[in-house]
A and B are shown apart, each in its own frame.
Chain A
Amino acid sequence: MTNISLEPIDIVRGQPYPGAPDNWKRFFTFSTDHKVIGIQYIVTSFFFFLVGGLFAMIMRGELITPEADLIDRTVYNALFTMHGSVMLFFWTFPVLVGLGNYLVPLMIGARDMAFPRLNAVSFWMIPVAGVLMMTSFLVPGGPSQSGWWAYPPVSLQNPTGNLINGQVLWILAVAISGVSSIMGAVNFVTTIFRMRTPGMTWFKTPAFVWAVLGAQLIQLYGLPALTGGAIMLLLDLTIGTSFFAPERGGNPILYQHFFWFYSHPAVYVMVLPAFGIFSEVLPVHARKPLFGYRVIAASSILITIISGTVWVHHMYASATPPWMRMFFMVTTMLVAVPSGIKVFGWVATVWGGKIRFTTPMLFALGGISNWLFAGITGIFLGSVPIDLHVHNTYFVVGHFHYVLYGAIVMGIYAAIYHWFPKMTGRMYYEGLGKLHFVLTYVGTALIFLPMHPLGLMGMPRRVASYDPEFAYWNVVASIGGFLLGLSTLPFILNMVSAWIRGEKVGNNPWRAYGLEWLTSSPPSVENYEQLPLVISGPYGYGKNQPLVSNIPNPGLTEFPESLPKSLMQETTS
């Protein structure tokens, strides 16, 4: 009768074993295991990804014709606000925190994060905040309609006059997610500094861990500014203070500084982990060490520093004095250099490698090619005169979607496929994965490439209606958008069916270097029976040297029996 009592229970924590094969219930508990939390993050945020994607589909439906004829203008404005906010605060940030949560302790040979309970609290704030933001659809006046920037004075206008309105709920939800991120950042930084296993010096630490460290340091220095700005905005909105309200003598431009001081570096919070993923996936599937590993690792930290000095490039048109425009133009151009170094390193990594086009590899390669493009348009935008033309046009929308969808979402997919066998002990279906990749890559180009000419022609962003001259490219973009919507179906099908009945694979189906591949799949509660003693760098392909001295790693040098059938098919077909 009582199945519960039959479940293996970890006495100390009063928790079911995360490693217990069929025990899916653990994902609905206040578990403190970083692997459970990681998957909780990933699955929850993927749900929000679908919600945000649904909003985008409706928007693209509206934009397929020039007139505002599908939905009311207020609805369109609410949708792009919610789309942007959900995609950033409830998809991109949390899914990357989830991947970091799952992977960082395994990669550095730790048994868990430094503060497991804090970790669980950070996670559970995300669904709370997400649901709070969604409830704004139910209050009178509907959700916030001021864009994900929430620039005053528009964000202070409150047409219904109610105290509880969409904008207030929006600020509260963002503040909660910000607190969750700060707690997460404290946890990550402490874990990475203090809990690396013996022998893992900084330059034996995987590039992904470096990238996560860089990203989380940004959260620590940047989020307080955004949180402060949000609180002032909330006070202006609710009790009538005058920080930003011009009719009461406030300065709306000040808000933009608070906002972008965090929100520019925030794009690096999102893209750095994606860079880290590329750096991990390429060597495995090209069977070659990461080219220039030290430089790639250190450039993450360089980006952390420089990206804190570029925020005014979002405000060139905000009546900023010329000296400010010039200063921030130079810093913005500089931040391209460490990002460029990484791209060169990745190209050199695959060069002369033994490449296999597995699904994670395809997504990583596709993501890099998109990042190259987005990085170049980013340099365009950094130039003040060019930006003065395309700022607030679709050129910018195209640019940041190339980053967000083209590079980051592709990187996330690469990571999910690559570590899926580690998380579940089973292999995904290669055919479905490739279909998913093709749909995603083609869809991304179809929707986001046409946005660049649209912007150059002068189509402003955030418009529900537009002049007929822009119609052609908008139809193309909408078709691409629907294709992207479609592309999630093979992914979901793949994940669900492979988790339930995918082919069982061994601990190290990719024959990869890395501590996470030394333990069982899925890893046991405390990850390792004994902590690994690291004796060499993280990407020893072709060097035939062991990574650790105290755990045997058979998969690497011998012919692997554990090689999954799907991979054999891939290599024999």
Chain B
Amino acid sequence: MMKLRAILTMSVYAILVTFASFWMAKQSYSWFPPEASAEGKLLDDLFSLFTGLGTFIYLGVIGPFLYSLIFHRASKYDLSDAPPIEGNTWLEIIWTAIPLALVLTLAFVSYRTYEKMSIRGPMELVHLHLPQVVESAYAEPFDSTPQQEIQNAAQSASVEQIDVTARQWAWVFHYPEQDVTSTELHLPVDRRIRFTLRSEDVLHGFYIPAFRLDQYLVPNQEIDFELTPVKTGTYRLRDSMYSGTYFAANQTDVVVQTPDEYQRWLADAATQTPSPAFNQAAYEYGQTSEPGAGSTKDKVAVRGWATIPPAPPPVVNYAPKHEPVSPPA
């Protein structure tokens, strides 16, 4: 009788937990910024799987835990001990083996996802780095859409090359074919993009949350980094690796356009004469070093310490028109 009830309770709980896990796995897609790259879609699926399993483990453990805390309390005057159960070999083997199998599976699934992201060989490739143990990972035919998209993008047209330079504290994008420079990143949709990442001073992080990929820029190294935008729109590029005083302001917009718009933008920018772009760090630095001037300084309650001066604002063909607000809208 007792046993039956226990089994029943456990089954009902297991079903509830399963439902909750599926629900969370679905929910997890809504926690992210827009899904604007093919790689991002792969990541979101992986994350959803982790969320589902994670929820299952969490609820599976916390349920019995709470149950026991509620129902196994000592009664008021009961100072006796509980039965001296010291362990159970089978139980211990099971709860070692299952997590072991689970994490190895998760590692394997993560590996597969990683492989699919880097279908044209390594997603990121380091020059000037001696041990190049990288072999291209050829993908087998696979029916998932993101991978198809990566494949299509990679095969349909040549890869779009863009040089990225980071410095304290600005981003400069160079389009070598047209020899255009810009402080805003424009990308054509559905094309494989190859960035060559360079840093002029310290470590920076090339991080566009809508694309779900983060890569450090390392001084003295050229790092190739590929991805495939699949959704037009305006997103945000954020420096993710702490780079000193104006780190938090080292951000810019990423505009993913249809190929036509993109070409028009490039042609347009090529006609502009290079001029200094607005730069948030240089702007704020100017405010604090000119005594008595400027709004930023007056707003700040505590004066700061010495800082590395920002590099002069980049001179580029194209720069978005920003109002001097912090952070730029």
Question: What residues of chain A have their CB less than 8 Å away from a CB belonging to chain B?
Answer: 66-75, 77-78, 140-142, 145-147, 151, 153-154, 157, 159-160, 246-247, 249, 252-253, 286-295, 317-319, 321-323, 325-326, 329-330, 333-334, 336-337, 340-341, 343-345, 347-348, 350-357, 365, 368-369, 372-373, 376-377, 379-380, 382-386, 388-389, 391-393, 453, 456-458, 460-467, 511, 539-543, 559-560, 563, 571-572
Q: Is the CB of B214 within 8 A of A337?
A: no
**One of A75, A289, A356, A377 near B73 (C-beta < 8 A):** A356
- Hey, which chain B residues are within 8 Å of A66, CB to CB? 327
Q: Whole-angstrom distance between the alpha carbons of A571 and B33 in the complex?
A: 51
Q: Determine whether the beta carbon of A392 is less than 8 Å from that of B54.
A: no
Does the CB pair B223–A319 fall under 8 Å? yes
How far, in whole Å, are A533 and B243 apart by their CA atoms in the complex? 59
**Segment from B13-21, B176-184, B296-304 that makes contact with A:** B296-304
Decide: B79 and A511 in contact? CB cutoff 8 A.
yes
A369 touching B218 in the complex, CB below 8 Å, given contacts A154-B203, A560-B79, A572-B77? no
| B144: min CB distance to chain A, Å | 14
Could you tell me which residues of chain B, from 26 to 85, have a CB within 8 Å of some CB in chain A?
A: 31-33, 42-43, 46-47, 50, 54, 57-58, 61-62, 64-65, 68-69, 72-74, 76-85
B111/A153 in contact, CB under 8 A: no
* Residue of B73, B100, B103, B126 most packed against chain A (CB within 10 A): B103
22 contacts between A and B (CB under 8 A): A68-B326, A140-B306, A146-B242, A151-B203, A151-B242, A286-B72, A287-B80, A287-B81, A291-B85, A295-B96, A322-B118, A322-B133, A337-B99, A343-B61, A347-B65, A351-B64, A356-B73, A379-B50, A385-B114, A465-B326, A467-B236, A542-B84
CB <8 Å contact, B201 and A295: no
Contact of B82 among A341, A373, A542, A572 (CB under 8 A): A542
Other A-B pairs, 13, CB within 8 Å; known A289-B86, A458-B210: A67-B299, A70-B300, A72-B302, A142-B305, A286-B82, A288-B83, A318-B216, A343-B61, A344-B95, A355-B69, A377-B54, A457-B209, A460-B240
Q: Does B226 contact A (CB under 8 A)?
A: no
- CB-based contact B95/A464 at 8 Å: no
The yes or no answer to B249 lying at the interface (CB within 8 A) is: yes
- Chain B positions within 8 Å of A291 at CB level: 85-88
Q: Is B258 an interface residue (CB 8 A)?
A: no
Q: How far is the CB of A401 from chain B (nearest CB, A)?
A: 17
Question: Which B residues from 236 to 292 make CB contacts under 8 A with A?
Answer: 236, 238-249, 251, 284, 288
Query: Contact at B129–A159, with CB atoms within 8 Å?
Result: no
A379–B53 Cα gap in the complex (Å)? Answer: 11
Q: Are A344 and B50 in contact, CB atoms less than 8 angstroms apart?
A: no
Residue contact A354 to B32, C-beta cutoff 8 Å: no
| Residues of chain A lying within 8 A (CB to CB) of residue B327 | 66-67, 465-467
Smallest beta-carbon distance A258→chain B, Å: 15
Cα A151 to Cα B219 with chains together (Å): 13
Given contacts A153-B201, A326-B111, contact A383 B84 (CB under 8 A): no
Q: Contact between A386 and B207 (Cβ–Cβ < 8 Å)?
A: no
The residues of A that contact B43 with a CB separation of less than 8 Å are: 385-386, 388-389
Q: Please give the distance in Å from A353's CB to the nearest CB on chain B.
A: 5
- Shortest distance from the beta carbon of B216 to any chain A beta carbon, whole Å: 5
Known: A330-B107, A540-B84, A571-B76. A380 touches B47 (CB 8 A): yes
The 8 Å CB contact of A293, one of B86, B129, B304, is B86
- Contact (Cβ within 8 A) A457 B31: yes
Residues of B within 8 A of A (CB): 31-33, 42-43, 46-47, 50, 54, 57-58, 61-62, 64-65, 68-69, 72-74, 76-88, 91-92, 95-96, 99-100, 103-104, 106-107, 110-111, 113-114, 117-118, 122, 124, 126, 129, 131-134, 201-203, 205, 207, 209-210, 212-216, 218-221, 223, 236, 238-249, 251, 284, 288, 299-308, 326-327
The answer to whether B244 and A145 have CB atoms under 8 Å apart is yes
Residues from chain A with Cβ under 8 Å of B69 in the complex = 350, 355, 365
Complex Cα distance, B132 from A295, in Å, reads 42
Report chain A residues within 8 Å CB of B110.
329, 383-386
Q: How many A-B residue pairs have CB under 8 A?
A: 324
Given A326-B111, A334-B103, do A75 and B95 touch, yes or no (CB 8 Å)? no
For the complex, what is the distance from the CA of A368 to the CA of B61, rounded to whole Å?
11
- Set of chain A residues within 8 Å of B31, measured between Cβ atoms: 453, 456-457
Query: Is there an interface contact between B241 and A392, defined as CB atoms closer than 8 Å?
Result: yes
B117 touching A385, Cβ below 8 Å: yes
Chain B residues with CB under 8 A of A389: 43, 47, 209, 212-214
Q: A355 vs B67: C-alpha distance in the bound complex, in angstroms?
A: 12
Residues of B within 8 A of A341 (CB): 92, 95-96, 99
Give Cα A322–Cα B122 distance, bound, in whole angstroms. 8
Q: Is the CB of A369 within 8 A of B33?
A: no
- With CB as the reference atom, state the residue of chain A lying closest to B101: A337
Contact check: which of A157, A460, A465 meets B207 at CB < 8 Å? Answer: A460
B72 to chain A: which residues have CB within 8 Å? 286, 350-355
User: Which of B46, B84, B86, B243 makes the CB contact (< 8 A) with A385?
Assistant: B46
Contact status A356-B74, CB under 8 Å: yes
Closest to B131 in A: A321
User: Is there contact, CB below 8 Å, between A333 and B103?
Assistant: yes
Residue of B nearest to A355 (CB): B73
A292 touches B87 (CB 8 A): yes
Q: How distant is the Cα of A485 from the Cα of B95 in the complex, in angstroms? A: 38
Q: Decide: A75 and B302 in contact? CB cutoff 8 A.
A: yes
Chain A residues within an 8 Å CB radius of B248: 68, 73, 460, 462-466
Q: How far is A439 from B54 in the complex, measured between Cα atoms in Å?
A: 27
Contacts of A392 in B (CB 8 A): 205, 207, 214, 240-242
The answer to whether B305 and A369 have CB atoms under 8 Å apart is no
When distances are taken between beta carbons in the complex, the residues of chain A under 8 Å from B124 are 319
Interface centre among B132, B219, B223, B305 (most CB of A within 10 A): B305
Question: Given contacts A72-B288, A340-B95, A385-B46, are A333 and B61 in contact (CB under 8 A)?
Answer: no
Interchain CA distance A465-B203 in the complex, whole Å = 20
Shortest Cβ distance from B210 into chain A, in angstroms?
8
CB of B214 within 8 A of CB of A350, answer no
B218 close to A253 (CB less than 8 A): yes
Chain B residues with CB under 8 A of A345: 92
